[in-house]
Amino acid sequence: MTHIVILGAGIAGVSAAYALKSQLGPQDEITVVSDKPYFHFVPSNPWIAMGWRERSDVAFPIGPYLESRGIKFIHSGVKRIQPDVIQVDLENGDVLFYDTLLIATGATGMSDDVPGLAEHTQSVIHIDQAERAHAAYREFVRRPGPIVVGAAPGASVLGPLYEYAFLVDADLKRRNIRERVPITLVTPEPYPGHLGLGGEGASRGAVTAALVDTKIGIICNARTVRIDKNTIQVVELDAAGKEKQTHTLPYAYSVYWPAFGGVAGVRSATGLVNERGLVVVDEYLRNPDYPNVFAIGACVAQPVAGNTPVPIGPPESVYSITKACDTVVQNILALAGDAPLVSYVPQRAKWLTDMGSTGAAYLSEPQVPLRDINWMRQGRWVHQAKVDFEKYFVNKIRLKPSGQALSVESRIASVMSRAFAEAGGAPSPAQRAPGGGTPLEIHLSKDPGFELRALAKSLGREPDALAAELLTAAVADAKSYLNEAGVESLAQCRRELLVKELPERQPGVEFHGGGT
């Protein structure tokens, strides 16, 4: 019997827990520890900050989903990791001993690096911060003024920096106040679209053109030195790292990306972490000094792509995290079975960036130099793809365990059971219904049709509108009964239907700075 302890119940931790549980024996144990009782889909934070998502859309209690699979969940912060005695001390007083430890806690923003950053700017690193940013934004639109979207020296994961600037631009245009709001993007990157990857490729011209098209100003090689209540002090460096110009930027609303560091309970683990408290790993995603300790996600001390005048942290994405999760699961199982480990590098990086009604997709392969693929595409398909991926990933985390019986009391369960029986157990590509862009025509038999009209009348609703709401709820309920193969098939069918519905039928169009 082996005991695997996973610290963190986010994208990395939950994905790894599900995968490990499905492949370990019935006597093996997995314990997931998190200082938050919920899972939330981090890439949706910019949408929450704009008011385009509610917390309930992307966050939900994770304990029941883990425990339904036989995975123990403990809601507690980590007090201390003691790898020499294979022990984790929790803030709630519990002590956990492990055979293998997987650290997937994410990171914390080191806001103290820049005086005034925490006090005067907003953040979207965590969902609580995104909600506060939305509250501040609602106040801002009543009295609009300059906006500064920036990143501190050493900041990581800079793709959302651009995404948020483009989302603000789109939202202000919808409110008809964009001309009253100058937007400035402040970044430590040496040029737009660097993203911590280097290698200009097509990204520099594409991002620059998009910024020009949306009239978003940008200061590169920017070292933010201080943030006061109404102004931000920035020093701009030249390519040699010498001071080129100073800027005093007025702002009425600002969102900033801080540099990342390890969370408190991990940061103190001497021998596991670097000076920033991030976990040091080798190419197999395990610590070089403690081979039974692995790490994935933003808590990992990843190498930078090269020297820049202002330090830049490495990139990260859900795609990269899920690929790392595959690697770390394989290596944990290999370690238990005395099999050879597999390397995580080189790997590819991919982002989907929402820009309002359109979006941008970025691909770099491999993620570390030298890269042989480096491109960016723009189109409405990217916006739709990100929306679709959010739904797919959240549904996947909410999957019921394989083999779980459907409730006999549920009418939806009866419908789904019959549908599964008629389909031979699970949806298959051969049984997909053809898609189309016209509204669905649903013909009810006399009795349920009469009942629907009567119900709508009693509620003072139009029958069509009420039927649409009921059908939406029924579809959401029905999806909860899908197994993993069913969710994969559903996601594939959604993508096919979305492509057919989109105004642009081509796979992508070059990012030329204009609308597409």
Write out the H or E segment, with its range, that includes residue 454: helix 446-459
d(CA 104, CA 294): 9
Reply yes or no on whether the pLDDT at 104 is more than 60. Answer: yes
Reply yes or no on whether the pLDDT at 324 is more than 80. Answer: yes
Reply yes or no on whether the pLDDT at 136 is more than 60. Answer: yes
State the pLDDT at residue 418: 55
Least confident of 181-195, 223-237, 288-302, 499-513: 499-513
Q: Is 230 within 8 Å of 250 (Cβ atoms)?
A: yes
- Give the other-Cβ count within 10 Å of 239's Cβ: 11
Between 373 and 154, where is the model more confident?
154
pLDDT, tens digit (0-9, with 9 covering 90-100), for 459-491: 787 888 778 777 877 887 777 667 767 777 777
Tell me what the pLDDT averaged over the chain comes to. 81
Between 442 and 374, where is the model more confident?
442
Three-class secondary structure assignment of 363-383: EEECCCCCCCEEEEEECHHHH
Reply yes or no on whether the pLDDT at 511 is more than 60. Answer: no
Reply yes or no on whether the pLDDT at 48 is more than 60. Answer: yes
Kindly list the structural domains of the chain, giving each domain's residue range(s) and its CATH number in brackets, ordered by start. Answer: 3-108+261-345 (3.50.50.100), 111-259+351-393 (3.50.50.100), 408-482 (no CATH)
Of 7, 37, 10, 4, the C-alpha closest to 264 is: 7
Least confident of 136-145, 479-488, 497-506: 497-506
State the pLDDT at residue 278: 95
| Helix, strand, coil percentages, rounded to 5, for the chain | 40, 20, 40
State the pLDDT at residue 512: 28
Q: What is the mean pLDDT of residues 182-197?
A: 90
**H helix intervals, 215-312:** 264-267
Reply yes or no on whether the pLDDT at 407 is more than 60. Answer: no
pLDDT, tens digit (0-9, with 9 covering 90-100), for 428-458: 433 333 334 456 777 777 777 878 888 788 8
State the pLDDT at residue 109: 93
Q: Band the pLDDT of 5: cuts 50, 70, 90.
A: very high
State the pLDDT at residue 453: 85
The conformational region for residue 86 under phi > 0 = left, psi -120 to 50 = alpha, else beta, is left
Reply yes or no on whether the pLDDT at 224 is more than 60. Answer: yes
State the pLDDT at residue 490: 77
State the pLDDT at residue 198: 65
Q: What is the mean pLDDT of residues 341-346?
A: 78
State the pLDDT at residue 208: 85
Tell me the whole-structure pTM to 2 decimals. Answer: 0.76
CA 507-508-512 angle, to 5 degrees, is 170
